Amino acid sequence: KAGVTQTPRYLIKTRGQQVTLSCSPISGHRSVSWYQQTPGQGLQFLFEYFSETQRNKGNFPGRFSGRQFSNSRSEMNVSTLELGDSALYLCASSPAGQSSYEQYFGPGTRLTVT
């Protein structure tokens, strides 16, 4: 099976702009979660989508949003970028259902905000 894929892999944006990141889960996986990883804060949960619905949300401002499509692919959007949004953004997919919570990560998108 192909793994989780994320596009783009690298992105440079200017403060104030917005960005959209894409994630395709492992085939058959219906849950997609997004994380932000920085050296200072580590891996922090952003949100999880399951069957096109946001199932869980972390403690991030409303500038961070996401959605999931009927084919389980997901996108996350960050509006009004700030310098502190520079990070590795990771997507992880999981098989359907709450009982199966093993998550498999994609390669990530490295976002740099200047």
Partner 1 sequence: QKEVEQNSGPLSVPEGAIASLNCTYSDRGSQSFFWYRQYSGKSPELIMSIYSNGDKEDGRFTAQLNKASQYVSLLIRDSQPSDSATYLCAVRLGGKLIFGQGTELSVKP
Task: Give contact residues for partner 1 (rule: CB under 8 A).
Answer: 33, 35, 42-45, 48, 55-56, 58, 88, 90, 92, 98, 101-108
Q: How far is the CB of 48 from partner 1 (least distance, A)?
A: 7
| CB 76, CB 46: distance < 8 Å | yes
Nearest to 96 by CA among 47, 32, 34, 2: 32
- CA distances 102 to 21, 79, 99, 106, Å, are 22, 30, 9, 13
Whichever of 18 and 54 has its CB closer to partner 1, that residue is 54
Question: Closest CB to partner 1 among 41 and 80?
Answer: 41
Dihedrals phi, psi of 37, to nearest 5 degrees: -120, 120
Give min distance, CB of 104 to partner 1, in A. 6
Q: Which is nearer to partner 1, 14 or 39 (CB)?
A: 39
CB of 101 to partner 1, least distance (A): 5
Give me 61's structure tokens: 């401002």
